[in-house]
Amino acid sequence: MITTEAFATIMVYGLITSLVYALFAEGFSLIFGVARMIDAAYGLWYAAAAYMAYALVTVYNVNVFVTFFATIAALFSAGFVYYWAVLRRIKEHIEMIMTTFLIALVIQNLIVLLFTNFPWSTPAVLPGSTVVFGVSVFNQQLSAAVAAAGLLVLLWFLIYRTKVGLAIRGVAQDLDAAVCVGIKPQQTMALVLGLSTALAGLASLLVTPQSTITPVMGWPMLTLAFAIVVLGGLGDYRGTLIAAFVIGYVEIAVQNLVSPLYAGAASLIAVLLTLWIRPRGIFGKSVEH
Amino acid sequence: MNLKISAISRTAAVAVLVVVIAAAAVGGLFLTGVLTPEQQKRQIIIGLSLPLTNPVGIHAKYAAEMAVEEINAAGGVTINGTKYQLVLVAEDTNEMDPLIPVDQGVTAFKRLIEVHGAHVIVGGVRTDVVVAQTQQLSRYKIVYLDVESNQRIVEDLVQSDYDNYKYYFHFFAGGRNSSAGPYIAQIPVALRNAARANPNFPNVTRVALVAENALWTVGLAGRPAGNSTFFQRLKAAGFDLVFAELYPTTQADFSSYLARIKASGAGLIILLFSGPPGVAFVKQWAAYDWSPGKKPIVFGPGLLGGFSWFWDQTGGAAQGTFWWPATVKVPVTPKTVPFIEKFTQRFKETPNTAAFGTYDAIYVLKEALERANTWKGDRLVEAMERTDYVGVMGRIKFDRRHHGLNLADQHLYWYFGQWQNGELVPVWSPDQRDTVRNFILP
């Protein structure tokens, strides 16, 4: 029997966790949906953003808001260059996975070289906590959830209500047809990579001030993004959003009702079960297009 | 016929030339010292098997360098009347990264011996890595000085399988006679005594356990969490274990744990951690919305908690938490404070436990080498077993049955330190077991 307190805890923490997961996974989904690429380095951009922010705030004493925008701009630029310099030249999927995996290792080792693998942390921008429906929530988490919700709406608006979004969807649906109507696919894909990398950075900057940063922090996030995107249907905005909520709530429910040790395994079991029933994922139809 | 002779002559001439050049090259290499066998250089090579990009390994390496420089400056090690210099070689095991497999540690260990020609191994941090490395000891017949792993597994193996594990010597607590368990069990009692005199204390008789899901926590925390002799004794002493959970080594968000601890009414959290999540836990515990007068006290064996970085890592959130082991500036022996000061002056950081263990291990090794008159494993083991040395962390005494520390006498590992405004202040030690002194509420 679930107590009212436990139910409220699951609902509140589940919502916060799911929103951040969704923000992070939408970038990964976008890369697959538009560029048909599986970016194994995606989790490491999450780590890179955290370390850049740590260096700017803690080592160079840069203002947090300047740090925030500088980091996002740097991540967007890195994603853009990453596409033009590396990903654009790769044609085979296996080559893509191997190359991006190696880039992930390079980023990780650069982080170790510059910062050691000791856990560091940036101070919370909004310290303390607030009670929401009887549940204590860190202000940092609360602001992360609100920001993630806003950014997800903005992302939806960008993809479904702007000309840039039209170009992105055009490339995702039919590359040749997109070229015929004047869309420049390389520029669009580079833009998508920049946008996705920035989303990974945004998720990182919202969450990590409440936690610690380590060079390997990106790998569990990559697994998470992969699970969400596969569950939701590769490359589908709505599917990714719903899958993020499924995984977020499953994890928090298992943490509170069973044991935190099984939270990660439970979410992966949820993915397997869904794929067993519906192999294309929740909204997998869009992949066929 | 002449043609044949001429061909043979040419072949012979080329062969002779090749042999001469090769002989000159090899001779040159020997003369320049490149191929000179290590023992002819009168060196004893100490192989450091450490996580070299982590401050645990970095401090151990610093301390090893300090000890080796001091010993060499004083004339080195005398073996059979000949002076030998100590030389350090190092391999990065990266073992403080929980995602790194044990194999990397074993490979580093083998490389130290097979590639670098190490005569003795100093290192050991993560329990599973140490257990795997020590399985190789009898194969190489090499002495292994473990400076940081918090376990008794290999010490037990020395007892049960002496021939294969006799090469292992343990310079950190957590062994057969160096368990912090009795100290940790006494802390709740001391806090309960303090609470009787101070109504502002939370209810410390209600205890929560939060433990890293790692091999070193099995004995103390039990499996499932809370199912251990330690907690049975705590319950018998009048304490209620109201929350007990393990956390995975990749855990970043402890909101759910803290919500459940708050609901359980725990006034005392025993946190067993050695890696990054412990830092996150403390930050989140400090930021959590506790009811007035009910903010639980946090203490535990937390490797990072007693490091000088911990205050900055948590942005001051560590205020009021207290930890074991803690490298507090207490004159445990006449060598302790001078070591801390020398290390701090040179490296601009307070030495951590790995530094203490490594520094003493090198000096113990030096004395054992001189007793054994060799670096060969079997005879060196016998000499190590005659160790009775007063080091920077306390007295170190080994014999055939005891290859680990004994905390019966005053020792660095006696002390629990509490973070108070950026300083680690000693608040408890077993010589005053029933009270906490200079203690502040978080």
Give the CATH number for residue A209. 1.10.3470
Q: Does the beta-carbon distance from B280 to A140 stay under 8 Å?
A: no
Residues of A in contact with B281 (CB under 8 A): none
For A138, the closest of B213, B284, B309 (CB atoms) is B284
Q: Is B304 on the interface with A (CB under 8 A)?
A: yes
49-88 in chain B: CB under 8 A from chain A: 51, 53-55, 58
Chain A closest-CA separation from residue B299 CA (Å) = 19
In angstroms, how far is CA A192 from the centroid of its own chain? 13
Return the beta strands (E) in B6-109 as ranges: 43-50, 77-79, 82-92
Q: Does the beta-carbon distance from A119 to B253 stay under 8 Å?
A: no
Looking at the 3D structure of chain A, how many domains does it have?
1
Position B20 pLDDT exceeds 80: no
d(CA B218, CA B221) in angstroms, rounded, equals 6
Q: Does the beta-carbon distance from A136 to B258 stay under 8 Å?
A: yes
Chain B closest-CA separation from residue A163 CA (Å) = 39
Residue A132 is assigned to a structural domain of this protein: no
Q: What per-residue confidence (pLDDT) applies to B31?
A: 46
Q: What per-residue confidence (pLDDT) applies to B34?
A: 47
Residue B140: band (very low, low, confident or very high) from pLDDT cuts 50, 70, 90: very high
Residue A16 is assigned to a structural domain of this protein: yes
Residues of B in contact with A255 (CB under 8 A): 256-257
Q: Which of B4-8, B13-17, B211-215 has the highest mean pLDDT?
A: B211-215
Q: Is B23 on the interface with A (CB under 8 A)?
A: no
3-state secondary structure of B351: coil
Range of the domain at A162: 4-118+139-288
Residue A48 has, within 13 A of its CA and on its CB side, a CA count of 27
Closest-CA residue of B relative to A263 is B248
Residues of B in contact with A261 (CB under 8 A): 213, 245-248
Position B155 pLDDT exceeds 90: yes
Cα dihedral B321→B325→B326→B329 (10° resolution): 150
Position B1 pLDDT exceeds 60: no
Q: What per-residue confidence (pLDDT) applies to B18?
A: 62
Q: Does the beta-carbon distance from A255 to B51 stay under 8 Å?
A: no
Each residue's pLDDT tens digit, B334-375? 999 999 999 999 998 889 999 999 999 999 999 999 999 999
For A212, the closest of B247, B248, B280 (CB atoms) is B280
Each residue's pLDDT tens digit, B105-129? 999 999 999 999 999 999 999 999 9
d(CA B133, CA B175) in angstroms, rounded, equals 17
The Cα-based distances of B107 to A185, B94, B142 in angstroms read 47, 11, 15
Q: What per-residue confidence (pLDDT) applies to B59?
A: 94
Residue A45 is assigned to a structural domain of this protein: yes
Residues of A in contact with B277 (CB under 8 A): 212
Q: What per-residue confidence (pLDDT) applies to B276?
A: 87
Residue A88: CB atoms within 10 A of its CB come to 14
Q: Does the beta-carbon distance from B97 to A207 stay under 8 Å?
A: no
Most B CBs within 10 Å: which of A133, A139, A212, A216, as the mutation test of the B interface?
A: A212
Position B11 pLDDT exceeds 50: yes
Span A60-78, average pLDDT: 96
Q: What per-residue confidence (pLDDT) applies to B370?
A: 97
Q: Does the beta-carbon distance from B288 to A117 stay under 8 Å?
A: no
Q: Is B275 on the interface with A (CB under 8 A)?
A: yes
Residue A258 is assigned to a structural domain of this protein: yes
Query: With pLDDT > 90 as the criterion, what percentage of chain B qualifies?
Result: 77
d(CA B390, CA B333) in angstroms, rounded, equals 7
Q: Does the beta-carbon distance from A214 to B97 stay under 8 Å?
A: yes
Residue A129 is assigned to a structural domain of this protein: no
Closest-CA residue of A relative to B252 is A211
Closest-CA residue of A relative to B98 is A216
Instruction: Give the tokens for residue B248.
Output: 């995975």
Position A264 pLDDT exceeds 60: yes
Q: What residues of chain A have any CB closer than 8 angstroms to a CB in chain B?
A: 5-6, 9, 13, 17, 112-113, 116-121, 123-124, 127-131, 135-141, 207, 210-212, 214-217, 219-220, 252, 255-256, 259-261, 264
Which residue did the predictor score with more confidence, B202 or A234?
B202
Indicate the helix (H) or strand (E) that contains A132: strand A129-132
Q: Which CATH superfamily is domain B181-324+414-432 in?
A: Response regulator (3.40.50.2300)
Q: Please report the ipTM that was assigned to this predicted complex.
A: 0.90
Which residue did the predictor score with more confidence, B384 or B305?
B384
- The DSSP-derived string for A187-225 is HHHHHHHHHHHHHHHHHHHHHGGGS-B-TTTHHHHHHHH
Longest Cα–Cα distance of chain B, Å, equals 115
174-213 in chain B: CB under 8 A from chain A: 213
Which of B319, B294, B332 is CA-nearest to residue B418?
A: B319
Residue A92 is assigned to a structural domain of this protein: yes
Closest-CA residue of A relative to B286 is A128
Each residue's pLDDT tens digit, B400-441? 999 999 999 899 999 999 999 999 999 999 999 999 999 999
Each residue's pLDDT tens digit, A112-134? 889 987 888 888 888 899 999 99
Q: Write phi, then psi, for B425 (nearest 5 degrees).
A: -105, 130
Chain B closest-CA separation from residue A127 CA (Å) = 6
Q: Is B97 on the interface with A (CB under 8 A)?
A: yes
- The DSSP-derived string for B415-429 is -EEEEETTEEEEEE-
Residue A286: band (very low, low, confident or very high) from pLDDT cuts 50, 70, 90: very low
Which of A131, A135, A130, A132 is CA-nearest to residue A6?
A: A135
Mean pLDDT (chain B) is 90
For A136, the closest of B251, B262, B279 (CB atoms) is B262
Among B4-13, B130-139, B313-322, whose mean pLDDT is lowest? B4-13
Q: Does the beta-carbon distance from B247 to A138 stay under 8 Å?
A: no
Residues of B in contact with A249 (CB under 8 A): none
Q: Does the beta-carbon distance from A210 to B283 stay under 8 Å?
A: yes
Cβ B126 vs Cβ B153: under 8 Å: no
d(CA B394, CA B413) in angstroms, rounded, equals 9
Which of B195, B130, B212 is CA-nearest to residue B403?
A: B130
Closest-CA residue of B relative to A14 is B256
The residues, ordered by sequence, that sit 6+ positions from A53 with a Cβ below 8 Å of its Cβ are A67, A68, A71, A122, A204, A205, A208
Residue B13: band (very low, low, confident or very high) from pLDDT cuts 50, 70, 90: low
d(CA B192, CA B250) in angstroms, rounded, equals 33
Q: Which of B24-38, B193-207, B295-309 has the highest mean pLDDT?
A: B193-207
| Class in CATH terms, B38-178+331-410 | alpha beta
Instruction: Give the tokens for residue B317.
Output: 């959130």
Q: What per-residue confidence (pLDDT) applies to B6?
A: 56
Residue A164 is assigned to a structural domain of this protein: yes
Residues counted in chain A: 289
Q: Does the beta-carbon distance from A261 to B246 stay under 8 Å?
A: yes
The Cα-based distances of B194 to B197, B203, B424, B436 in angstroms read 5, 11, 20, 7
Q: What per-residue confidence (pLDDT) applies to A30?
A: 92
For B256, the closest of A129, A214, A252 (CB atoms) is A252
What's the CA angle centered on A181, arms A176 and A185, to 5 degrees?
A: 55
